[in-house]
A and B are shown apart, each in its own frame.
Chain A
Amino acid sequence: NAGVTQTPKFRVLKTGQSMTLLCAQDMNHEYMYWYRQDPGMGLRLIHYSVGEGTTAKGEVPDGYNVSRLKKQNFLLGLESAAPSQTSVYFCASSYLGQATETQYFGPGTRLLVL
């Protein structure tokens, strides 16, 4: 049982390039989330999904797109990377998405946009 995994662990992009971050969970969770964490700050929600085929915007969605084609996977895309998107990206999942429920986080993806 791997929990939540993220691919890749680290990536360097040039401004304007695109990439996709992959999140996978093997806990059969319905809810999945993408957060970003900037140095010295807490996590901010980018997008989330309440189930296969559905996505919704979080606090800071601009410049990102997401897809949830399979229940176990949640993809975060950057169509045209900008230096402001340099951050650590965390994926999380939970069973029902209730605030009373534990969110399980992945190890993070460090992204540097030059």
Chain B
Amino acid sequence: LAKTTQPISMDSYEGQEVNITCSHNNIATNDYITWYQQFPSQGPRFIIQGYKTKVTNEVASLFIPADRKSSTLSLPRVSLSDTAVYYCLVGGSSGSARQLTFGSGTQLTVLP
């Protein structure tokens, strides 16, 4: 299983763009990169997923360089409600979702 490394914590201010980088040096060819968000006392919630280049949805963008050894979650113009733990996961597409590993995640704190 590909191991991921993320910063333990990050602080930002409302209205700023936040970029959280995840390292996954031993990512396998068929692995996808998925990000989840977790608020206190709640279960994780899917944010975005990608395989290469750039993916964008209504809440975030995911940038993946050509070597795929890292990825960056970008949250545009964060608000106080974006304060949460963000997890980067790497897993294959061959039914190995059950092997997904959640690391310690990145605690993002948005300040007023």
On chain A, the residues within 8 Å of B44 by CB distance are 43, 90, 103, 105
Tally inter-chain residue pairs, CB-CB below 8 A. Answer: 73
On chain B, the residues within 8 Å of A42 by CB distance are 87, 101-105
Beta-carbon contact of A100 and B43 below 8 Å: no
Complex Cα–Cα for A92 and B46 (A): 12
Beta-carbon contact of A48 and B98 below 8 Å: yes
On chain B, the residues within 8 Å of A92 by CB distance are 43
Complex Cα–Cα for A59 and B93 (A): 19
Complex Cα–Cα for A44 and B89 (A): 12
Complex Cα–Cα for A103 and B95 (A): 13
With both beta carbons as reference points, the residue of chain B lying nearest to A91 in the complex is identified as: B43
Number of residues of chain A lying within 8 A (CB) of chain B: 31
Q: Does A62 contact B (CB under 8 A)?
A: no
With both beta carbons as reference points, the residue of chain A lying nearest to B102 in the complex is identified as: A42
With both beta carbons as reference points, the residue of chain B lying nearest to A102 in the complex is identified as: B46
Number of residues of chain B lying within 8 A (CB) of chain A: 26
Tell me how far the C-beta of A74 lies from the nearest C-beta in chain B, rounded to whole angstroms: 13
Tell me how far the C-beta of A90 lies from the nearest C-beta in chain B, rounded to whole angstroms: 5
Q: Does B70 contact A (CB under 8 A)?
A: no
Contact of A103 among B31, B46, B104 (CB under 8 A): B46
Tell me how far the C-beta of A93 lies from the nearest C-beta in chain B, rounded to whole angstroms: 11
Q: Mark B28-72, 1 if CB is under 8 A from A, else 0.
A: 000110100000011111100100000000000000000000000
**What residues of chain A have their CB less than 8 Å away from a CB belonging to chain B?**
4, 31, 33, 35, 40-45, 48, 50, 56, 58-59, 90, 92, 94, 96-108
Complex Cα–Cα for A112 and B32 (A): 35
Looking at A4, A96, A98, the one whose CB has the most chain B CB atoms below 10 A away is A98
Beta-carbon contact of A98 and B42 below 8 Å: no
With both beta carbons as reference points, the residue of chain A lying nearest to B85 in the complex is identified as: A42
With both beta carbons as reference points, the residue of chain B lying nearest to A33 in the complex is identified as: B98
Beta-carbon contact of A98 and B100 below 8 Å: no
With both beta carbons as reference points, the residue of chain A lying nearest to B89 in the complex is identified as: A99
Looking at A31, A43, A97, the one whose CB has the most chain B CB atoms below 10 A away is A43
With both beta carbons as reference points, the residue of chain B lying nearest to A59 in the complex is identified as: B101
Contact of A105 among B32, B45, B93, B97 (CB under 8 A): B45
